[in-house]
Amino acid sequence: MRKKLRLSDDNVQAFLMILPFLIGFILFSYVPIVYILRYAFTNYSGFGDCKFTGLANFVRAFKRDPDFWQSLLNTVILSAGKLAVEIPLALLLAVLLNKKLKGMSFFRVTLFLPAIISAVIIGLIFSLLFASHNGMINGILANVGLIEKPINWFNTKWKAMLILGIASVWQNYGINMIFFLMALQSIPQELYDCASIDGATGLTRFFKITLPMIAPIFQSILLMAIVGSLKVCDLVISCTNGQPGGTTEVVMTYIYKSFFGKSGRNIEVGYASAMALITAIFLGIVTFVYLKATKRLKEYEG
Amino acid sequence: MAKDLDFEPSAPKTIKKSTGTKIFEAVAYLLLAAGSIICVLPFIIIVSGSFTDNSTILTQGYSLLPKNFTFSAYETIFRSPKDILQAYKMTIYYTVVGTGLGLLMITLTGYVISRKEFKYRNTVSFLIYFTSIFGGGMIPWYLMYANVLQLKGSTLAIWFPALMSPFLVILMRTFIVGAVPDAITESAKIDGAGHFTIFFKIVLPVLKPGLATVGLFLALGYWNDWYRSSMFSTNSSTWQLQFYLYDLLNATTAMKQMASNVSMKTADLPTESVKLAMAVVATGPVLLVYPFVQRFFVSGITVGAVKG
């Protein structure tokens, strides 16, 4: 016998509350995955014919498209490099901001500032700062006497990647800093008081109390930062747009361009879907390995 | 900007400090000040450049204070402000509608998955977590909007996608767990309160920090987004402000359009300073509102976190 559904029933109320979100979410996050799966095995070009081609797209990606793998490698290098700077920097600044000193509210405002502007403007800022003939960085370097003639920052792959990395750190460290700050403020002050009585000082307290206490949150922050930077797209488009010569393309911009036929490429919905699928599986593997590897961090939570 | 906040580094302290603490504090201030300069400087350069004569920028580069001060870039932009005002109007519309609806949906969902007694809590949470990691980027939902629902060109396609942010739901859940102890909701339940009553009478009134934080993220996301316009707009009247700026920076067509609007030759247009002035115009509202919102936002973090 079925129970009658009633508005007073708790589960019914709960479902009513999540219904709008859930419908939208399933419609726009799960149903599209079906479409990706469908197109990935076809030669669909956006209009006209859509012929099933089996594994042809995957064979092409694995065997005949070194640029795709190069873009994936670029993404990994860029992410690893920028996170190695960004995460410690965010944690350091959060620890400093968490000290109850005068003027901290002012520094919170200024230090979070880069996080509130759009990628378009960040692209503009970095192209101005690093412009070759009238850019500020070249001007400073020349004034200090470090360089004799202006450096063209965007004409080789590694220089352009370096600037992408700096721009990306500048854009993203603020949000991680705020999350670290939230984590730090949840540590009870008594722990530090006890430690002081036992004679623990600065660094000892940081490694013995602060880090273990924020370890579980640290794990989540780092996971979000890793996934976020592997998915980077608009910052690269507005900063270098893959230049010089497509060498700073990241995986999302590479897929984006073949999907929409930007930068002189053909529109290849089928092939782009296949690459998106490969990338999604790659992200899944990275996340899985990360979660396994950091399991011990979670256990601190006790 | 936020220069006039309470900043008194040299205020006298009553407690005597050890030398070690003093050195630590000095280093802390030094690092924070250096960081702040790196964060604020680019803004100053842009504002200063937007008031600088175009040929001065081309020959002498950018500076902290405008050399050869002029309003000409702003005059050029606002001599024919129709396009900008339209982009402004649309962006405000997207931001208000998106932030309002988004907050409602995200808060309700965050509340439900924070309730331990909800039977399907783990299933729903997993559904939400899973896409935040495994999602295939923007291509899947582009296909959904453009090919399946035929929404290309509609404004719905621009504000709707960002409502379903898994990340913000998870963040909101954290705030709710921190702000409302289980004991309170449980005693409300014993008194016969349903989810709706608990949500509106108990959770919502103490959720200001969470609402401010998630609301700020939502609003910033809407204000700063530009590539949804590049994907879905078929007509420049639905453009987001940032896409208008992107177009101006990257496509010569936009500059030509602006030149013809103000009846000038493209070559005579003060292109460099116009770009900077546009950046100021597009970011201005955020910079003006942010110092006020962040007070909630920062105090919110403290309140929420202490209890969590």
Model pLDDT for residues B119-177, shown as the tens digit of each residue: 888 888 888 887 776 665 677 777 777 777 777 777 787 888 778 888 888 888 888 88
- The size of the A-B interface in CB pairs under 8 A is 258
pLDDT at A3: 55
pLDDT at A8: 62
**B231-246 average pLDDT score:** 81
CATH C-level class of B81-250? mainly alpha
Smallest Cα distance from B188 to chain A, Å: 13
- pLDDT above 50 for B3: no
Taking only the tens place, the pLDDT of each residue in B250-269 is 765 566 666 666 666 666 66
Smallest Cα distance from A14 to chain B, Å: 6
Q: What is the DSSP string of chain A?
A: -PPPP-TTSHHHHHHHHHHHHHHHHIIIIIHHHHHHHHHTTB---SSS---B-TTHHHHIIIII-HHHHHHHHHHHHHHHHHHHHHHHHHHHHHHHHHS--TTHHHHHHHHHGGGGS-HHHHHHHHHHHT-TTT-HHHHHHHHHTS-SS---TTSSHHHHHHHHHHHHHHHHHHHHHHHHHHHHHTS-HHHHHHHHHTT--HHHHIIIIIHHHHHHHHHHHHHHHHHHHHT--HHHHHHTTT-STTTT--HHHHHHHHHHT-TTPPP-HHHHHHHHHHHHHHHHHHHHHHHHHTHHHHHTT-
pLDDT at A168: 92
Sign of the C-alpha dihedral computed for residues B247, B251, B255 and B260 taken in this order: negative
| Domain range list for chain B | 2-74, 81-250
Profile chain A (302 residues) by mean pLDDT over runs of 10 residues: 62 85 83 81 76 78 84 91 94 88 85 88 86 78 80 83 91 89 81 76 79 82 87 82 79 83 75 86 88 70 40
Residue B148: phi and psi, rounded to 5, are -85, -50
pLDDT at A2: 53
Q: Which of A121, A68, A122, A120 is nearest to A278 (CA)?
A: A68
Mean pLDDT of chain B: 78
- pLDDT above 60 for B14: no
pLDDT at A40: 80
**B45-63 average pLDDT score:** 80
pLDDT at B30: 92
Protein fold of A54-117+157-299: MetI-like fold (1.10.3720)
Taking only the tens place, the pLDDT of each residue in B286-299 is 888 888 777 766 55
Among the partner-chain residues B194, B224, B276, the one whose CB lies closest to the CB of A118 is: B224
Among the partner-chain residues B28, B167, B283, the one whose CB lies closest to the CB of A121 is: B283
pTM: predicted TM-score of the whole model, two decimal places: 0.82
Partners of B231 on chain A (C-beta within 8 Å) are: 260
pLDDT at B33: 92
**B214-242 average pLDDT score:** 83
Partners of A237 on chain B (C-beta within 8 Å) are: 227
pLDDT at A210: 83
The residue among B223 and B238 whose pLDDT is bigger is B223
The CB density around residue B263, as the number of other CB atoms within 10 Å, is 8
Residues whose CB falls within 8 Å of the CB of residue B174, separated by 6 or more in sequence, listed in order: B304, B308
Q: Which of A31, A75, A98, A109 to mutate to test binding with chain B, by most B CBs within 10 Å of its CB?
A: A109
Partners of A150 on chain B (C-beta within 8 Å) are: none
Query: Do B61 and A136 count as a contact with CB atoms less than 8 A apart?
Result: yes
The residue among A260 and B61 whose pLDDT is bigger is A260
Partners of A240 on chain B (C-beta within 8 Å) are: none
Among the partner-chain residues B43, B58, B301, the one whose CB lies closest to the CB of A182 is: B301
B157 to chain A: closest CA residue: A28
pLDDT at B6: 44
Query: Do B36 and A110 count as a contact with CB atoms less than 8 A apart?
Result: yes
pLDDT at B18: 76
The residue among B87 and A89 whose pLDDT is bigger is A89
Partners of A135 on chain B (C-beta within 8 Å) are: 61-62
pLDDT at A173: 92
pLDDT at A170: 92
Task: Give the residue ranges of DSSP H helices in B225-270.
Answer: 227-232, 241-250, 252-261
pLDDT at B192: 82
Distance CA B95, CA B11 (A): 41
| Domain range list for chain A | 54-117+157-299
